[in-house]
Amino acid sequence: MNFNDWTRSVQARTEAALEARLPSADIEPTRLHDAMRYTTLGGGKRVRPLLVHAAGLLTGATPEALDAAGAAIEMIHVYSLVHDDMPAMDDDSMRRGKPTVHVQYDEATALLVGDALQSQAFVALSDAPLPAVRKAALLRELAYASGAAGMAGGQAIDLASVGVALDRVSLEKMHRMKTGALLRAAVFMGALCGSEAPESLDAATLAASVQQSQQQAGGAAIAEAVDARTFATALERYAAAIGLAFQVVDDILDVTADSATLGKTAGKDEAANKPTYVSLLGLDEARKLAKQLQADAHAALVPFGDRAERLAQLADFVVERAN
């Protein structure tokens, strides 16, 4: 299957997976349920579910488990967009080519839609067709990536940075949290869905496991622990590269694409006087950085061989997309 067909098939699976996991608009509270479906279904590139499915190919994950993990992470992403668009935050009226939730419904509904989508993401993990040990590993990745140490924390730094001359290190930290953490979680969650993955991909746990096997166990256990750590390190490098590339390209598109192509208001970072990679580096250097990160993502995947084909193609997709 070529990449475009694969992308469309995962997007279709994801739409069905989300549809099945959102409460019906026929039952009370209907306005909440209707708004949850309005904002979640029928749009978006589904980049995070694509990463989940691509990473699952590394470890023999079932498509059904990946659907659950992909739906969960997409719900977190969508909730963050709903809250980010509210008047107290970015005050945006258009998203994915449609009026935002607080415009189409009202502010209280937008607040509750975001809150309920976050819970629903964890419901989706809870119901995933996976053993408890895998659910616990997914819970860890998703909860950390969503909260103060990840996406929500990154949004708070972003909020505090309007009109402030952030340097490149601070800008990178903000984006690593705001968008990078969830993209990284998508890669790790996809890999963790497969029975061939180590039970944990947490760096501290893996380092402890290498140390323990060196002290107490034989050669095979050491090799396994080292393999697990090598696996996690390669994934980490890939995720860091595409996470940053995603943001650099977002910043480039904010100044080069029009609102209709983007499905959201173009040029709004500049209007809000927000620091971006383009304002910091200039357009040409930002484009060079995106290309470097793309190459680094490919280099990170070398140890995985052919099984990483979709992850490699997604790195290209992230950098070469038009919206």
Q: Which residues bind a second copy (CB under 8 A)?
A: 23, 28-29, 31-33, 36, 79-80, 83, 86, 88-89, 106-112, 114-116, 118-120, 122-123, 125-126, 131-133, 135-136, 139-140, 142-144, 146-153, 155-157, 159-160, 173
Nearer CB in complex with a second copy: 7/209: 209
Cα–chain center distance at 252 = 19
Phi and psi at residue 94, to the nearest 5° = -135, 135
Task: For the CB of residue 109, give the shortest distance to a second copy in the complex, in Å.
Answer: 7
Under 8 Å CB-to-CB from 76, ≥6 apart: which residues?
117, 118, 121, 142, 145, 146, 151, 182
Token pair listed for 48: 């995070």
Whether 285 and 234 have beta carbons less than 8 Å apart is answered as no
Dihedral sign, CA of 222, 232, 298, 280? negative
Nearer CB in complex with a second copy: 7/155: 155
Task: For the CB of residue 40, give the shortest distance to a second copy in the complex, in Å.
Answer: 12
What is the per-residue DSSP string for 168-228?
HHHHHHHHIIIIIHHHHHHHHHHHHTSTTS-S---HHHHHHHHHHHHHHS-HHHHHHHHHH
Nearer CB in complex with a second copy: 44/154: 154
Task: For the CB of residue 35, give the shortest distance to a second copy in the complex, in Å.
Answer: 9
Task: For the CB of residue 194, give the shortest distance to a second copy in the complex, in Å.
Answer: 17
Task: For the CB of residue 170, give the shortest distance to a second copy in the complex, in Å.
Answer: 9
For the stretch 297-314, what's the b/e string if a residue is b when 16 or more beta carbons lie within 10 angstroms of its beta carbon? Answer: bbebbeebeeebebbbbb
Q: How many CA atoms lie within 13 A of 103 on its CB side?
A: 13
Task: For the CB of residue 149, give the shortest distance to a second copy in the complex, in Å.
Answer: 7
Nearer CB in complex with a second copy: 103/255: 103
Nearer CB in complex with a second copy: 92/296: 92
Nearer CB in complex with a second copy: 80/279: 80
